[in-house]
Structure 1
């Protein structure tokens, strides 16, 4: 399988080129990414545990799905594509905000991403792709926030940043889906 390219961007999210995904993570180059949060009617967030064979952050808990946009693909199109590929369902998504973060990993790779955060609503069970996802669960955001504080090593770097910086923003938008 051919390695996918990521979209290199400047801090204003303007595309400045393409680069193979692994090279971008080895060189810590800023690139476009997205994180999807799916909520149910009970106000719970669907979390996924990353598959054990992921190239970074294996078996850590994170938001419903995340990845990188393809060249020519909108943020919403990318989020819907990856939600279907990882979690096996489709739903409408709403883009909330974006932010830049940089997180080095023990394996020498670094995530340096301009991350677009999206939300959607879904109430059924996912059909997880075991190549991407080890497990999943529903949790109330207040429970997630508490568990991150008590067990930070169980969660991905970007998920902790989103919850730390944007918890109130996510909660304010839950009723608007």
Structure 2
């Protein structure tokens, strides 16, 4: 959920995650500047993935399916704190999170915006029922990886660009841990 009392800023970085400064979130997306981001993937005890459909009022990628939650760390906020904050703000739940990898990507989105992110990916496990924020989430579900992989292949237009870039890599990491 956006903090309506102040302008939301992102942390601008170089490819080595050295901080270059701060910028208003929309300006950074309009200019396509590299900034920090987080993506969280939650799994239940059956091994199903918790995914959600972005709310229709989101400023980009609205109505698309994606990982459990994602966002940007605030200036002076750690990546893990941002991941925990957004998991509560978007899905109304908590889990013990662990960072599994980071990657950089740059993709043009709708509304003349560009995602250029150094994205830190976190996983967690929970059987807690989500209590999603309607400003962030229009729908959610737990889904088996085989079914998810098939749907992404058959309906890629229904998923966010960052999700399509990382979901297989997340699955590989989960399989190594089993």
- Superposed pair shares fold, TM > 0.5: yes
Structure 2 match to 1:87: 91
Q: Report the TM-score, using the length of structure 1 for normalisation.
A: 0.94
Change over 3 Å in CA distance of 1:130–1:163 after alignment to 2: same
Q: What's the CA shift for 1:99?
A: 0.2
**Residue in 2 aligned with 1:106?**
110
Pair 1:59 & 2:82 matched: no
Unaligned runs of 5+ in 1: none
Q: Is 1:28 the counterpart of 2:32 in the alignment?
A: yes
CA deviation vs aligned residue, 1:50-107 (integer Å, no higher than 9, x gap):
0000000001000000000011111111100000000001111000000001110131
Alpha carbons of 1:12 and 1:119: their partners in 2 closer, same or farther (altered >3 Å)? same
Asked if 1:120 is matched to 2:124, the reply is yes
In the alignment of these two chains, the number of paired residues is 174
In 2: Cα distance, 1:58 partner to 1:80 partner? 22
Deviation at 1:113? 0.3
Worse-matched range after superposition: 161-170 or 119-128: 161-170
Asked if 1:4 is matched to 2:8, the reply is yes
- How far apart are 1:164 and its partner, in Å? 4.4
The CA RMSD measured in Å over matched residues stands at 1.1
Cα distance in 1 for residues equivalent to 2:33 and 2:131: 33
1:143 Cα deviation from its structure 2 partner: 1.6
Distance across 1 between alignment mates of 2:165 and 2:10: 21
Query: Which runs of 5 or more structure 2 residues have no equivalent in the other structure?
Result: none
Q: Secondary structure at the match of 2:121?
A: strand
- Which consecutive segments of 4 or more residues in structure 1 shift more than 6 A? none
